[in-house]
Structure 1
Amino acid sequence: MKKNIMTLAAVLCCAMTTVFTACTDDDNSVKQPETNPDDQTAYTEKMVPVNRDGNNSGTVAIRFYEDMPSVPYISVADFQGIVVPGTTVSVTKTGTGTYELKNAGGTLTVSTVAETCAFDDFLGFTNQMGLVQAGMENGYYDGLPYVRFNHQTLSGGSPAVTFDYSTYGINLRADDSAVYFPFATLADLYADLYGHNTACNGEKVVYDSKDDNGDDGIGGLDSDFKMENLMKNKERKADMVAYNYAELCFTIDHFYGMPTGSDFEKSIQEKGLDKTLEADADGQTVKQLLLSANTDDYADGMCMLYAYLYDGGHTAIWYTEPSATFAEKYPSLYSYYDERVTVDRYRKGLQLGSLTLPLREAFFGDNSTYHKKGNTAICHFDSFSHSDKQAWLDYYQGKGSRPTLATSPEDPMAIFLDALEQAAADPEVKNFVLDLSANTGGSSDVVMAMTSLMYDQSLFRVYNVLTGQKTVWYYDVDRNFDGKYDAQDKDVHYDLNFCIITSPISFSCGNLYPSLCKDAGLLIAGQKSGGGSCAVGAYRTADGFYYQISAARARLSDANWQNINDGITPHVTIDYAKDINVTYEGHDYTLYYYNNFWDFDNLSTIIGEYYK
């Protein structure tokens, strides 16, 4: 019998005695047959309700096969109808165990004998972005109305992708008229950069049109999917345990973006997550925990997987700390988690919350986002997040006024426009400094609008690790923010010398923005930015828990197609005013004073020399 991840996982579920609950005759253990038994495997089918964004959206048929009685299956056509209502999938049986499926975006060829599925255009077939903007390709757009997706260009690689599930022991099923995947497998295939996400617990299906808020996405629509409620179920069924682990391995192997932040990235890329975990004693313990029949042990395993994949912030496998007894039981693993996750998060939190922001307020005498001295103005821009999206939608639909700093004080575009318009209206100001030294990232929609205003270009580049394609996404921007896209947008111009200040805190979009500006010839000053080179992919495990990973389909690149995860080196380095050593929760940290970043006279000199 061919050994695969799920077969071995099922055996481990029954065999482990130190970590797992021993199997009994009622544990529904999974035994993989020699050949695929699709047409012979008995199943039960039931209709379950569909909750779509909090609204009752009818019912859908879910199957449970007798060899995997805890794992819900759904037909590809029914799944497509849930995530993109009104669309269809045609199914043609082309041979023994071979089926051709077509929708508006592409063709999928499935073999239930080989357990493979081959997309002629993977992103086309799984595209849900038409829900955000009509006719949109499967790209990146958060839906802020002052930006709209224009088009994409692709080079290199291929849109065609073939997935082999036989290695993972995941069975694809079919009858003459339909093809069935495990529900979570389809959910992972369709997961995109916008955050469309769906889950099924065997009793109901929940679809969230933007599950980018972690546990508050699907969990907010149905409390059964909240972490605290999922954790109440202390016993895990053996067939679900095995499938959950296999699907998790598949997802990490194929959809993790390899940003270069994880210690185990190279190993995962070369031999997969399962074999990476098996390579040493600590990894074997993590695998055992992930395969535990006890939910608390499983949670500890997910915490440790978080440490293994930790890449600075985009990947977040778990949202709680290890259990109280974990450090005592697994000191080596706990030490690794502490160093990789806890220390890095505390370092950033201490630098930002305990030093940089209070110091800046003391330096300027207030916490305003705009300051000016002589010919130089500074906009303190701490986040590309917290957009008041509903207020912007209301404005563009003629239902309200344009959001401003007064009405939407945390909105990044309101903050930026307030500062930029003040500087442009002041005849004394020649230099505009965008201070990203405390910026931890956010939405690329905001990035595109701001680059358009600063240097009249709104595009960015990503490398698709899965397909090998180099992708450029282009956007339109309502550059005068009058609520419409028209010829007057081209007339907007700001005659200012721009400078962007960065620090190691500048992460994600706080790293993308200076990369784009540097490529465009704008001055970057300060210290090297903090990296973060992937968009975020939102997922749910087969048993319902939310997690996110750096997405393989969008690893950010500079104009030379180089990965920007190492951070952006400034044209001009500004030394820290001083550093201090502090001890917090048993760890030593070096923190830095950013006072010199806000020296108006020095900034004026630096900018003048750069643009002369």
Structure 2
Amino acid sequence: MNKKIKKLLSLIFITTPITTLASCSFTNSSINKKYDLNTYYEVQINDKNYYAHQVKFKNYEEGQFKIVDGTNLSIIDIEDIQYVNLNDFLKMINGLIYTDVYLKNLEKTDEYWQFTPYGKDEKDYPYVKFNFKDATIEFNDNSVFGASINGVDSGTDYNKNINFVKTEVVRKGDKVTKIQLRNYGFDMFEYQKELLVPYDVLNLLFGSNNYYNLYLNKDQIVGNFLPNILGGKNVPWGEKFYSKNRYTIETPRTREINYNFMALVFDNFYGFKDLKMPNGFKSYTKNNYDALMDTNPDLYLQEYAKLFTIDLNDPHAQIFTSIGVKPRVDFSKYQENQIMNNKSYNIGKYYRVLDRHLSQLNPEFYLKDRENQINIMHYNDLAIIKVNNFVVASREMIKNNKEQAYEYDTFYRVLNSIRKIQKDYKEVKNIVLDLSTNTGGHVVQALKLLGMMTNDNIKEYQIDTITNSFGYKEVKVDSDDDGDFNDNDAFTQYNWYIMTSPITFSAANFMATYAKDNNIAKIIGNRSSGGTFSVFPFVLPDGTTLGISSNAGFTFKNEKLVEDGAEVDIWINYEDYYNPEKIGKIIQNQKRR
């Protein structure tokens, strides 16, 4: 089970077409005009005629993981919903998952297919059951969708400088997730000893859970990792790809399919579902329904933006990519009292305040900060290290050019900054790690930075709102990058402070709350914005990539979610941010009390 736990922290063969369809009956019925018979062919399933065609798989960036491009996959259109052969889909994504462990641990009955990729040695082994009789998908652990040999090889060693000490499940949880597909207009079919499952559902289960999403048009499937999207590496297909979108035009039927799929995702995978949508997605969005069902992309995309930004008030709920110009909410149309508690609005508002303040207070530092240079603010015995995000450099970058890795890797950025302090500012006793404009990123980097402040092991507590399980991962950090995890190399000679603001969110908020809860550092500035859950990315049938708060949430030891942000020990006015002289005096005055 350790392999699946490590993969959670890390963050990710030639298949045959559906051979059973080759023997399907071809009919002489009239041809639906939306199908080009040069591409599509007719098939018969359960005495009904449908159309199928083949698409080729393309991995966006070579080297992300070992998978064969050019793999063919048959797509069957059943009532305007795209279905695929489950076996062939799993073979296509071999490398993202380890397909063999699924196929070797597959139980077939007259009612269901059940996969147990980790085996059945443990008492509560992870499983996923595809019941085609009642059209349900049942699973007891999200990790069942991510079994692999060594985790996803994205070319980045996320766990470098991390040693896994212990994994403990405090409460296994007894909640089994059971998705009734027919409640959302989907189904499953057993056909000639094969199982047909909606393509979008498989993309959700096996793609989204591994931070990898597949995009389907009429002749191609392209896969891309979420870190690429967040880093601006969108798949460069643009209009050329979407000109062959699976929907030639949007219709009331395609919008219905899209709406139903959104309901399936939110009802079963949204971390705040019980809090914000106790009666389900469709009840929650009754006032959004007409706009979400509109066949005009400009209108339904704008409604996505309103739903995610205004209604949900969750910065993790966001639009990553869309078929047109990515829509945004125009906050200027709202009264201040309508948006004063909106987290996305406040993140933007205070970012502008702090960005302008720093550019005016210290233009030289501001420019270096934007260029990712090693940049330290210093006054007497206090130094400030500004950390704007949590990013991880590629394995190749660290191997071939470690001296410059700080430009792309938060751990090396902070480590090099500390070494500069040790060399050039020997009088420093207090270090402020400035997370005031940090909206998060890879939580593994937060663990590493915490390990720089203390020689104690770091325990990352998580709760799963789907299974109701609760546990923690305990890690040891090699703080000075010498390969030795047992030399107590944390920089405990300094008094540590973490500066936060309403911009501090997600993994940055986790770091601040953990440091305060474990007395590793004092929190200064203003309260952070929260961000309990990790991001769960998914692709709608209309091609839009969305993100929501997942079911995996950070907690304190007592299981309380860290959603309320880190309470500050020392309040600092925004006008005093980035001023080491004033901050130093505020800290000294606080110590005298």
The answer to whether the 8 Å contact 1:47/1:59 transfers is no
Cα distance in 2 between the residues matched to 1:239 and 1:313 = 30
Higher mean C-alpha displacement, 510-519 vs 431-440: 431-440
Cα distance in 1 between the residues matched to 2:146 and 2:196 = 16
Does residue 111 in structure 1 map to residue 131 in structure 2?
A: yes
Alpha-carbon shift at residue 408 of structure 1 (Å)? 4.2
Paired position in structure 2 for 1:190 = 206
What letter is aligned with 1:48? V
Moved over 6 A (4+): 25-28, 230-234, 335-339, 362-366
Cα distance in 2 between the residues matched to 1:257 and 1:210 = 19
Cα distance in 2 between the residues matched to 1:108 and 1:393 = 36
Matches of residues 496-507 of structure 1 in structure 2 within 5 Å?
496-507=494-505
Paired position in structure 2 for 1:586 = none
The answer to whether the 8 Å contact 1:62/1:72 transfers is no
Q: Which residue among 164, 185, 193 is the counterpart of 1:177?
A: 193
CA deviation string 1:12-42 (max 9, x = no partner): xxxxxxxxxxxxx9799xxxxxxxx974444
Secondary structure class of the residue paired with 1:113? coil
Alpha-carbon shift at residue 505 of structure 1 (Å)? 2.2
The answer to whether the 8 Å contact 1:248/1:541 transfers is yes
Cα distance in 2 between the residues matched to 1:191 and 1:337 = 34
What letter is aligned with 1:153? E
The answer to whether the 8 Å contact 1:499/1:523 transfers is yes
CA deviation string 1:420-478 (max 9, x = no partner): 22334554222222122232222212111111111133332222111111132334533
Q: CA RMSD in A?
A: 3.9
Cα distance in 2 between the residues matched to 1:336 and 1:364 = 33
What letter is aligned with 2:158? G
CA deviation string 1:93-152 (max 9, x = no partner): 422x43334444643322223221112444224446843369xxxxxx972634466664
Paired position in structure 2 for 1:382 = 388
Does residue 602 in structure 1 map to residue 579 in structure 2?
A: no
Q: Which residue among 245, 251, 257 is the counterpart of 1:243?
A: 257
TM-score by length of 2: 0.76
Cα distance in 2 between the residues matched to 1:556 and 1:129 = 26
The answer to whether the 8 Å contact 2:263/2:280 transfers is yes
Cα distance in 2 between the residues matched to 1:508 and 1:245 = 28
- Structure 1 pair 571/604, CA: closer, same or farther in 2 (3 Å)? closer
Alpha-carbon shift at residue 517 of structure 1 (Å)? 0.7
Does residue 372 in structure 1 map to residue 392 in structure 2?
A: no
Matches of residues 51-130 of structure 1 in structure 2 within 5 Å?
51-54=58-61, 57-66=69-78, 68=79, 70-85=80-95, 87-88=99-100, 89-90=102-103, 92-95=107-110, 97-104=111-118, 106-127=126-147, 130=150
Secondary structure class of the residue paired with 1:570? coil
The answer to whether the 8 Å contact 1:147/1:449 transfers is yes
- Structure 1 pair 523/342, CA: closer, same or farther in 2 (3 Å)? closer
The answer to whether the 8 Å contact 2:350/2:503 transfers is yes
Alpha-carbon shift at residue 567 of structure 1 (Å)? 0.9
Higher mean C-alpha displacement, 118-127 vs 455-464: 118-127
- Give the paired residue count: 524
Secondary structure class of the residue paired with 1:313? coil
Matches of residues 511-550 of structure 1 in structure 2 within 5 Å?
511-521=509-519, 522-550=521-549
Cα distance in 2 between the residues matched to 1:71 and 1:515 = 44
Matches of residues 397-436 of structure 1 in structure 2 within 5 Å?
400-404=400-404, 408-409=406-407, 411-425=409-423, 426-436=425-435
- Structure 1 pair 295/479, CA: closer, same or farther in 2 (3 Å)? same
Matches of residues 278-289 of structure 1 in structure 2 within 5 Å?
278=286, 283=287, 286-289=288-291
Q: Which residue among 257, 267, 272 is the counterpart of 1:253?
A: 267
The answer to whether the 8 Å contact 1:120/1:159 transfers is yes
Secondary structure class of the residue paired with 1:563? coil
Cα distance in 1 between the residues matched to 2:179 and 2:240 = 28
Paired position in structure 2 for 1:155 = 170
The answer to whether the 8 Å contact 2:165/2:476 transfers is yes
What letter is aligned with 2:264? F
Secondary structure class of the residue paired with 2:402? coil
Structure 2: runs of 5 or more not aligned: 1-31, 36-43, 63-67, 120-125
Paired position in structure 2 for 1:573 = 571
Alpha-carbon shift at residue 359 of structure 1 (Å)? 3.2
Matches of residues 483-494 of structure 1 in structure 2 within 5 Å?
485-487=483-485, 489-494=487-492
- Structure 1 pair 45/248, CA: closer, same or farther in 2 (3 Å)? same
Q: Which residue among 167, 188, 197 is the counterpart of 2:183?
A: 167
- Structure 1 pair 258/62, CA: closer, same or farther in 2 (3 Å)? same
Higher mean C-alpha displacement, 117-126 vs 520-529: 117-126
- Structure 1 pair 544/472, CA: closer, same or farther in 2 (3 Å)? same
CA deviation string 1:375-403 (max 9, x = no partner): 22222223224x4x13x54434xxx2423
CA deviation string 1:532-571 (max 9, x = no partner): 222111111112211111112x222123221111111022
What letter is aligned with 2:546? Y
The answer to whether the 8 Å contact 1:39/1:174 transfers is no
Cα distance in 1 between the residues matched to 2:184 and 2:59 = 30
Paired position in structure 2 for 1:31 = none
Alpha-carbon shift at residue 310 of structure 1 (Å)? 4.0
- Structure 1 pair 537/322, CA: closer, same or farther in 2 (3 Å)? closer
Secondary structure class of the residue paired with 2:528? coil
The answer to whether the 8 Å contact 2:56/2:73 transfers is no
- Structure 1 pair 532/308, CA: closer, same or farther in 2 (3 Å)? same
The answer to whether the 8 Å contact 2:431/2:495 transfers is yes
Cα distance in 2 between the residues matched to 1:177 and 1:314 = 41
Alpha-carbon shift at residue 186 of structure 1 (Å)? 1.0
Alpha-carbon shift at residue 531 of structure 1 (Å)? 1.7
Secondary structure class of the residue paired with 1:438? coil
The answer to whether the 8 Å contact 1:576/1:596 transfers is no
CA deviation string 1:571-610 (max 9, x = no partner): 2223455xxxxxxxxxxxxxxx536775254255257569
Cα distance in 2 between the residues matched to 1:120 and 1:346 = 38
Secondary structure class of the residue paired with 1:599? helix
Paired position in structure 2 for 1:143 = 158
What letter is aligned with 2:473? W
Alpha-carbon shift at residue 188 of structure 1 (Å)? 1.1
What letter is aligned with 2:535? V
- Structure 1 pair 81/535, CA: closer, same or farther in 2 (3 Å)? same
Cα distance in 2 between the residues matched to 1:119 and 1:365 = 50
Alpha-carbon shift at residue 516 of structure 1 (Å)? 1.2
Paired position in structure 2 for 1:276 = 284
Paired position in structure 2 for 1:4 = none
The answer to whether the 8 Å contact 1:112/1:172 transfers is yes
What letter is aligned with 2:72? V
Cα distance in 2 between the residues matched to 1:497 and 1:79 = 53
Paired position in structure 2 for 1:17 = none
Structure 1: runs of 5 or more not aligned: 1-24, 29-36, 135-140, 260-264, 578-592
Higher mean C-alpha displacement, 153-162 vs 529-538: 153-162
Cα distance in 2 between the residues matched to 1:365 and 1:323 = 28
The answer to whether the 8 Å contact 1:236/1:293 transfers is yes
Alpha-carbon shift at residue 518 of structure 1 (Å)? 0.8
CA deviation string 1:17-69 (max 9, x = no partner): xxxxxxxx9799xxxxxxxx974444333332110234662323323244x2x
The answer to whether the 8 Å contact 2:478/2:489 transfers is no
Paired position in structure 2 for 1:199 = 215
